[in-house]
Chains A and B, each alone.
Chain A
Amino acid sequence: MFLKRNILMLILGLYLSVIQAFSQSEKVRVIRFEDLRKEINHVTDTTLVVHFWATWCKPCVEELPNYEKLSQEYAKKRIRFLMVSMDFPKDIKDKVEPFIAKNSINSEVVLLDEPDYNAWIDEIDKDWSGTIPATLMVNLTMRKRIFFEGQAKMDKFLEELKEMTPVAGEN
């Protein structure tokens, strides 16, 4: 009887850790630039906000909650936020995922594993020096593209978000 209960507990424990592993690995997907390019060039009526950040970047960490809040607010308005982490892939388990859990980040987080920065920075924007945080807003249907680097000036960013919001009823 005692043994049976222990086995049951063991099975339950295994089950829980498997579930946890799956839900954690779903949180941060590792992508290459090719994947990001596809997202950016995908023709859709939803505006894509690509926000570059990293757990080691102090100004990024300071303002990420603002983006998280806006991503929830604007989800219904067909604006999709994609938080692109520039952390090293080896730091996913120890740094990126704990950070996301601790700060209750529910928006989509991916980790861009493309360390030859010079090969793709210009493709995001010619004026990007490489400094993060940096943000790209794109809507190919509306033919609009806005980029800025550094922390967002919130009033200006909200204005730009409004400008990038697809018109209601437009499909």
Chain B
Amino acid sequence: MKKIYILSSMGVILMGLAVIFAFTNSADKGYAIGDVVNDFKLKSTSGGVTSMAENKSAKGYIIVFTCNHCPFSKAYESRIMALDKKYASLGYPVLAINPNDPAAYEEDTFENMQAVAKSKGYTFEYLQDETQSVARAFGAARTPSAYVVKREGDKFIMQYIGGIDDNSQDANGVTKRYIEDAVNNLLSGKPVVVNLTKSVGCAIKWKGV
């Protein structure tokens, strides 16, 4: 009798797991605007690990999935640095996350991330998403992919998903600064007007695919 009970409860657990897996598969698109963003702990090129909760003075974050190898990420590098310089002191620092499988792209190893962060003088944390679970949770598909999250109590709420601006090739040709506009909206206590944009970039190389 006891055996049957154990077996059947195992069955229930397995079914539960199946539902969870089905759900994670269908949740490929990641967070939507207004969703609570789960905190993460990622290895930083500045040493140790970094989480969103850690920086108590942050009102939110500009989170950019980026990497070393991708020409689009390179084209945006100085603009990402400028975003941190402008908004970190206003409460919205940049967190850069490299989600690529270094086995696929030699340039994206942690050592090379450290080298780039050092030589370019990154003022923000450059994190490695080793298990790629953070990129998956965000629904990031390519680099660069940018997000703005806002702290509400002890939670972080998704406010913006998309591109950095409207000109990947030429910083001087930019007319719409999506990230700046979003953060400016939040800083003035307003909801983000343009909270979803699309852009092109380098597809993230997933492990084991």
Query: Is B a genuine binding partner of A?
Result: yes
In the complex with contacts A59-B203, A118-B163, A121-B198, A131-B142 CB distance below 8 A: yes
Q: Does A88 make an interface contact (CB < 8 A)?
A: yes
Q: Are the CB atoms of B170 and A56 closer together than 8 Å?
A: no
Please give, as numbers and ranges, the residues of chain A lying within 8 Å of B176 by CB-CB distance. 116
Q: Is the CB of A57 within 8 A of B203?
A: yes
Inter-chain contacts of A119 with B (CB < 8 A): 166
Question: Is the CB–CB distance between B141 and A118 below 8 Å?
Answer: no
List 5 additional contacts besides A58-B104, A116-B176, A131-B201; criterion CB under 8 Å.
A118-B178, A119-B166, A122-B198, A130-B200, A132-B200
Query: What bracket does the count of chain A residues touching chain B fall in?
Result: 20 to 34
CA distance A117 to B202 in the complex (A): 14
For B38, list chain A residues within 8 Å (CB). Answer: none
Number of interface residues of B (CB under 8 A): 26
- Contact, CB under 8 Å: B166 / A116: yes
Q: Does B208 contact A (CB under 8 A)?
A: no
Known: A56-B70, A130-B142, A131-B203. A118 touches B198 (CB 8 A): yes
Check if A115 sits within 8 Å of B141, measured CB to CB.
no
Tell me which residues across on chain A come within 8 A of B166, comparing CB atoms: 115-119
CB < 8 Å: which of B142, B169, B178, B198 contacts A115?
B169
- CB of B202 within 8 A of CB of A86, answer no
Chain B residues with Cβ below 8 Å from A91 are 71
**In the complex, which residue of chain A has the Cβ closest to the Cβ of B199?**
A117
Whole-angstrom CA separation of A91 from B201 in the bound complex? 16
A75 to B200, CA, bound (A): 29
